[in-house]
Amino acid sequence: MLRVLVLHGPNLNLLGLREQAIYGAVTLDEINQTLTRLAKDHNVDLAIHQSNAEGDLVTWIQHAHKTFDGLIINPAGYTHTSVAIRDAILAVGLPTVEVHLSNVYRREAFRRRSLIAPVAIGQICGFGAFSYELGLRALLDHLSRSDTQRSSQIREHDREEQR
């Protein structure tokens, strides 16, 4: 069974209340429920955390390599500022999908620079709460293709050893 870690960054605990014109009316709990249902449908074990503290996010990422196959992260405001989160993702080497509710490229100029995107396998933004579902689906697709490639490499290696 695949295990996926979902991390929500600062202020996402206020979804449904804050700037609904930008972030919509969906709450974080509703996003988590949708992700949990989707994960169950795909036989995936999901762990979900939210923190306003950068250090919490870094610690969860650092421990993730021991038990998780992939990471979905909405670093929120830390997207543009956190070298520590970037370095943690790079250090653990987990396939990571960066998600954002809003289209960061249609917003203020400072939001268009992500320190996370260069160490992620992909970035999804602008689809509201659906960005998370797309992120999970993309990560699962990536992991299934990676497993297929690894299995193929193992079979090829076994054939070469038999020769």
What amino acid positions are annotated as catalytic residues?
A: 23, 100
> CB–CB of 84/54 below 8 Å?
yes
Phi, psi of 45 (to 5 degrees): -90, 125
Instruction: Measure the CA dihedral 117/123/126/129, to 10°.
Output: -120
Q: Which residues lie closer than 8 Å to 135 by C-beta, 6 or more apart?
A: 72, 97, 98, 99, 124
